[in-house]
Chain A
Amino acid sequence: MSKTQRILALLLAVVMLTGLAACSKPNTETGTAANTSEEPQKEITINFPSIWVGKDSKAGIMSELISAFNQENTGKIKVVVEEIGDYQAYRDKMRTNITTGNVPDVFTFDNASETQLFFRSDKLMDLSSYLNEGWKNDFIASAIKDVTFDNKIMAIPYEFGVTPVWYNTRLLEKANVTEIPKTYTEFFDMCEKLKAAGIAPTSQMTGENAWTSMLWYSQLVVAIGGPDVYKNGFDDPAFLEAAKIMQKMYQYTTKDAVGATAGVSAGHWINERTAIFMNGPWFVGRLKNEGVNNMYDVVEVAPAPVYEGGKGQEGGYIGFIQAYIGAAKQTDKAKEAAVVKFLKYITSPENVKKVSLASGAMFVVKFDLGSADNVEKLQAQMIEQSNKAPYIVPHFQGNVKPAVASEFPQALSGLILGDKTPEKFIEQLKRADSM
């Protein structure tokens, strides 16, 4: 017995030692993993960590499209999807991948300020030549401008989101409100009526990334300061003014708004505990499935109100690219061609249309809708309103550094609880910006 145990212990030590040895000779074996496609006949594998999996509204159609692509290219190209549903985990992993130089062949990211960083990494594929061959005509021109860096196009703009105001008209009627408010004065009158009728007017939240409240703040900043407000930085008085309006907004929400998460604030709305909500087209599916008392039938979407005396215009929209597709720089030309082929495939107007109709999502790829196409009611309203909008400005989070975006919920909760004055609120954001 003792002998075998001694051998076991020794064996273990040997295993550990070989582990160490492998550790100390780094670059010999690892390089090969990345370049497995050197032999010409071999099937090219494209790895694609994807968030469009699991319960995501695009999961089903994406998986169909990718299987179809793999079938078409059997023996030549194979796209292997790595499923990462959890969004925070996805971001952690992509960031780590890029930092360590293991950029996935195809991946997605969402933030405009991240875009800048990734472009400067020198690890992304330069897609300019391919896009300039005419491919870029499939996209809305302004979206292409967003991803052009030093005259190079380094990523593909893809999914688009707009976030209008969602009104539950049944609750509005209960408070004798029949008109959707056009101005913030009317809006707060409405809130007052709702409150008097015992209905909490809006869903707000400062938990997580303060999503819904961050969108309201974005609406206010643009309504007050106009579409170019971000160019002036936080010194623009619109940011301060909007903070003051946010304080007022929080008088018309649920008691648990400070600290509430997206689950809580959305939960209030779909259970008819609040009348007004703000979110994007992806929420339609949930509204349909989970909204109480057939709530879906009584919901209307509308642009946010106009701020009297502000530089914003009626019908202005908050809209942003929420998924860019990036690709790793490839040394192997054949693989580069394969990646481009796949990218062209998932961004083709025909396929994007399929994804859009199946999921309710919006895209910066242009496609024609025929009368036969069954467009979802609220989605159609959002498309119409955004087409009419005098301007579409990205949300606050997309216009500022990641550090400012992550400080926003803390600054906002401090503002609402009276820990910070509106001036201090702005200072806090500036500090996060400068560090």
Chain B
Amino acid sequence: MRKTYKDYIGMLVFLLPAIVLFAAFFLYPVGYVVVTSLLKWDGITKATFVGLNNYKLIFTDEVFLTSIKNNIIWALAGGLIQVPLALMIALILARKPRGWKIFRTVYFFPNIISGVALAMMWSAIFNDEYGVLNGLLRIIGLESLQRNWLGDLHSAFPSLIIYWLFYIGYFMIIILAEISSIPETYYEAASIDGASKLKQDLFITIPLCKGSISTCMTLAMVYGLRQFEQVYMLTNGGPANKTSVMVLYLYKQIQNYRYGMANASGVVLIIIGALVIITIKKLFRVEKYQM
């Protein structure tokens, strides 16, 4: 279809608000972040230009490297474990088992509760003195596994991720919405051909909701890379910086009046994020309908 003169005006009018908001709240601030990442600046007294020195500092800081590693693990766990789990539950609920509406509603609840409450509860669950997790292990006779989950060099980070992975409600809803929009006729034809439910899921449902799966994967990985609140509330990066993540690192640098280093780590985060998003976009090239 050919675009008319009016279409061009429409496109401009439609793009403009988003671009204006984006320019004011992203381009300008990110410009600021990039510029200050080249300064040695405490935010209060005069700044001095130090070139790429802040990048050198953060990349020789073990804590920052740990943070990047943790973020990448978190992102991968989100994309490769959390989303498939969500997909599995969505496939089950799509067949409308008894009470599916209740499940669908309740699964979403944790997204509504503020992160503060969720973190408080989990820190109590993981606690070594009165925690429920150790209590459960005692009951089933696995005393040897008991530990101070969030205060242990080896278990702190896995605990932090694992409890998070099972909150699948948001992704499940997105995928379920798309599954429900698949026309019934596809399945009828498959049933006549004698395809099992599992085969129908694998060869009809999953390919047809590739769009929402890729959306969820992006979101899950973005969460993984942007993770802050849960870490801040549950471990504050400890013990021994083992659970540090990039945004926490950045935030601590700001609190330490090291804007240069803080913003250098911000730039690194943006670059890593862009790479991840572009990769996912490439992997899940969805067929496009265009005018």
Contacts and interface: CB of A to CB of B under 8 A. Distances in A.
Contact of A402 (B238, B257, B259): B257
Contacts of B13: 9-10, 13
B127 interface: yes
Contact of A419 (B21, B123, B153): B153
B252 A406 contact: yes
B43 A401 contact: no
Contacts of B241: 410, 414
Interface string B224-260: 0000000000011111110000000000101111110
A261 interface: yes
A268 interface: yes
B238 A264 contact: no
A256 interface: yes
29 contacts: A10-B13, A12-B17, A13-B17, A16-B21, A17-B16, A20-B20, A20-B23, A95-B254, A95-B255, A120-B45, A121-B45, A206-B238, A254-B129, A256-B127, A256-B151, A257-B151, A258-B152, A258-B238, A259-B151, A259-B238, A406-B252, A410-B237, A413-B238, A413-B239, A414-B241, A416-B239, A417-B153, A419-B239, A435-B261
A406 B261 CA distance: 15
A132 B237 CA distance: 46
Given A256-B129, A258-B151, A98 B20 contact: no
Interface of B: 13-14, 16-17, 20-21, 23-24, 42-45, 57, 61, 63, 123, 127-129, 131, 148, 150-153, 156, 235-241, 252, 254-259, 261
Contacts, number: 117
Contact of B239 (A12, A264, A410): A410
A409 B156 CA distance: 15
B129 A273 contact: yes
A231 interface: no
A260 interface: yes
Given A13-B16, A435-B57, A435-B258, A206 B127 contact: no
B20 A417 contact: no
A406 B239 contact: no
Interface of A: 9-10, 12-13, 16-17, 19-20, 23, 91-92, 95, 98-99, 117-118, 120-121, 206-208, 254-261, 264, 268, 273, 401-403, 406, 409-411, 413-414, 416-417, 419-420, 435
Contact of A417 (B17, B23, B239): B239
Nearest to A121: B44
B240 A95 contact: no
Given A259-B151, A402-B255, A417-B152, A98 B240 contact: no
Contacts of A259: 148, 150-151, 156, 235, 238-239
Contacts of A91: 255
The 4 closest A-B pairs by CB, nearest first: A259-B151, A414-B240, A413-B239, A258-B151
A9 B20 CA distance: 14
A91 B13 CA distance: 42
B16 A16 contact: yes
A99 B32 CA distance: 13
Given A13-B13, A268-B129, A273-B129, A403 B239 contact: no
Given A16-B16, A259-B238, A99 B44 contact: yes
Given A98-B43, A117-B45, A206 B256 contact: no
Given A20-B24, A402-B257, A406-B255, A206 B239 contact: yes
B238 A410 contact: yes
Contacts of A10: 13
B132 to A, nearest CB: 13
B133 to A, nearest CB: 12
Q: Which of B14, B20, B24 has the most chain A CB atoms inside 10 A of its CB?
A: B20
Nearest to B243: A259
A96 to B, nearest CB: 8
Contacts of B235: 207, 259
Nearest to B156: A259
A10 B10 CA distance: 9
Contacts of A13: 13, 16-17
Q: Which of B45, B240, B255, B258 has the most chain A CB atoms inside 10 A of its CB?
A: B240
Given A95-B43, A99-B44, A406-B252, A255 B129 contact: yes
A209 to B, nearest CB: 9
